[in-house]
Amino acid sequence: MIKMIETTGKTVEDALSAALEKLGVAAEDVEYEILEKPSKGFLGFGAKPAKIQVKLKEIPAEVKTEIQEPVANIEAHVEENIAEKIEPVLEETKTEPAEEIKTVEEIPPAEVETSEIETAEEIPPVDKEEVIARAKSFLAEVFAAMQIEITVTAVENDSEIVLDLAGKNLGVLIGKHGQTLDALQYLTNLTANVYNGAEKIYFVLDVENYRNRRAAALTKLAKSVAERAIRTRQDVKLEPMSRTERKVIHTALQNNPKVETHSAGEDPHRYIIVSPKKIS
């Protein structure tokens, strides 16, 4: 019989459970040593499992004697007891004749209770401050893992909350065309709204006034794309954008009588199509 093994798991408890299953014993029958503690890594990357060494405890001689007693008649004894207990139950649960079973149609509609529907408890509104706190907490954990010091300021607009990130050398968080910032923004929204059900609070992440500069560039792009759609009489598909950036494009072209815009695809790969309007 195996007396010592090494196992791994997401946590020490998981590793121990795996060892107990392999050895076929209970926790009180073993002693273990932690060889490596688990590590979460960063955003799921570089995570390390827990590693432990599990050893069987020595069993006293008198206990061994009790365990080794003859067990030849146990199976028959169990079967006999099961039979004694199950027969009365079978007698009580014999099915009544089918014709005596009432059908649903026999219940008058008037007897159906409706009070429970009328008094159903309303779903409480989302606590906005709690959601903002979750968003800030997530960002704090991310930047702590990156060893970057930041401050987060929340500014509420009509349809969204802007989380302004301030600190030193944060330009690295923007990435090409804001892709890094958009990815972080996407994760922040997922994390902050995880318990909100259908009601969502949308967050926009901004660094060094990047969103305003990007909005100016997108407005210029929207006008150029509209001119191309009108000239070629064909739809123009833009690259995937965040909800905030798509809103800039829609707003920039909403008063142009010669084109129309609509979004397609699923987040985070949702994009805009600019189409020339049909000439009447």
179-192 vs 128-145: helix axis angle to the nearest 10?
Answer: 130
> What does pLDDT average to over the chain?
76
Helices (H), the chain: 12-23, 61-67, 74-92, 115-118, 128-145, 179-192, 210-232, 243-253
pLDDT (mean) for 140-151 = 89
Query: How far, in Å, are 7, 15, 58, 120, 227 from residue 32 at the CA level?
Result: 10, 10, 13, 52, 72
The model's pTM: 0.49
Is the pLDDT at 152 greater than 60? The verdict is yes
Question: What spatial distance separates the first Cα and last Cα of the chain, rounded to whole Å?
Answer: 87
Q: What is the C-alpha separation between 239 and 205, in angstroms, rounded?
A: 20
Instruction: Return the amino acid letter for 248.
Output: V
**Does the pLDDT at position 173 exceed 90?**
no
H-helix or E-strand containing 152? strand 150-156
> What is the share, in percent, of the chain residues with pLDDT greater than 70?
71
Tens digit of each residue's pLDDT (9 = 90 or more) over 73-100 = 433 443 444 444 444 444 444 444 443 3
Q: CB-based contacts of 128: which residues, under 8 Å, 6+ apart?
A: 201
**Encoding tokens for residue 84?**
């004694």
Question: Which one has a higher pLDDT value, 178 or 225?
Answer: 225
Q: How confident is the model at residue 79, as a pLDDT?
A: 41
**Euclidean distance between CA atoms 135 and 123, whole angstroms:** 22
Distance (Å, rounded) from C-alpha 165 to C-alpha 150?
6
Instruction: For residue range 209-244, list pLDDT tens digits in order.
Output: 899 999 999 999 999 999 999 999 999 999 998 888
Predicted local confidence at residue 15, as pLDDT: 84
Query: Where residue 101 falls among pLDDT bands split at 50, 70, 90?
Result: very low
